[in-house]
Amino acid sequence: MRIATWNVNSIRSRIDRVEALLQRHDIDVLALQETKAREDQLPLMGLQSLGYDVAAAGVSQWNGVALISRLPMVDVQVGFEAMPLFGEPAVAEARALGAVCGGVRVWSLYVPNGRKVDDPHYVYKLEWLERLRAAAADWLEEDTALVGDWNIAPRDEDVFDMAQFATSTHVTPRERAAFQHFLDDGYVDVVRPHTPGPDVYTYWDYYRQRFERNRGLRIDFVLGSPSLAARVTHAFIDTEERAGKGASDHAPVIVDLD
């Protein structure tokens, strides 16, 4: 079984790349983030012709998550309960979508960015991660994959230049502690052993040829429950997908299970 995750940065702009990725790597389940589309805006015909079903959540041109699977999907769940957002009434953002695919519970996750340390989005990000952690505790005893764009670089080696991020989000002690809590609970970063750093990234800004200079961040992860981690035989980052005209600013992360 092959599972992949990819922040596609607009599925409507990159549907040809999505379809090509599925075929090139013979992927069974692909989790997408930042689809930037409502369910009724998804370009499904090509995916369906390739034998894939799609579950998605999207409310506007922002955020959005999806699961594309050629294995039967059951127990589809959309997000958590609505959360208060910056003192406003509670809202449900399209940032989490889960389903059991071929016996594996896969969650496509698009963790809030946080923006700046003194921004209300930063507090919202930490609260969102705590809600996810509480929910994920119930899935530890089954084959579970928490996959997606975590918007956290948990180690210094996951950042091309820590000096440039000294006062930025993604690397603060509170964010890193939130990520570590999942590992302390029993989830395993199943990709890192197969793709050790330094200088191994999953995201490169479009700014100043960051990709060409390999000045990136490692912020896309697959965290597996203990039973799922024991099934992982290989994992890799498709950095070539980040190259070329019209690429997303993230690379797909791909994991093989026995």
| Mean per-residue pLDDT over the chain, rounded | 94
Q: What's the confidence (pLDDT) of residue 191? A: 98
Greater confidence (90 vs 42) lies with 42
Task: Report the b/e string of 197-228 with b at 16+ CB within 10 A.
Answer: eeebbbbbeeeeebbeeebbbbbbbbbbbeeb
Cα–Cα distances in Å, from 249 out to 2, 51, 152?
A: 22, 27, 16
Mean pLDDT, residues 215-228: 98
CATH code of residue 60: 3.60.10.10
Structural domain total, the chain: 1
Beta pairing class for 83-85 and 65-69: unpaired
What is the residue range of 227's domain? 2-257
Cα–Cα distances in Å, from 1 out to 5, 43, 197?
A: 14, 25, 25
Confidence of residue 81 (pLDDT cuts 50, 70, 90): low
Q: Which among 250, 255, 201, 215 has a CA at the least distance from the CA of 231?
A: 255
| Tens of pLDDT, residues 150-189 | 999 999 999 999 999 989 999 999 999 999 999 999 999 9
Q: What's the confidence (pLDDT) of residue 208? A: 86
DSSP codes of every residue in 39-89:
GGG---HHHHHTT-EEEEE-SSSS--EEEEESS-EEEEEE--S-EEETTEE
Q: What's the confidence (pLDDT) of residue 87? A: 56
DSSP three-state, residue 125: helix
Among left, alpha and beta (phi > 0; psi -120 to 50; other), residue 173 is alpha
Q: What's the confidence (pLDDT) of residue 244? A: 87
pLDDT of 251 strictly over 80: yes
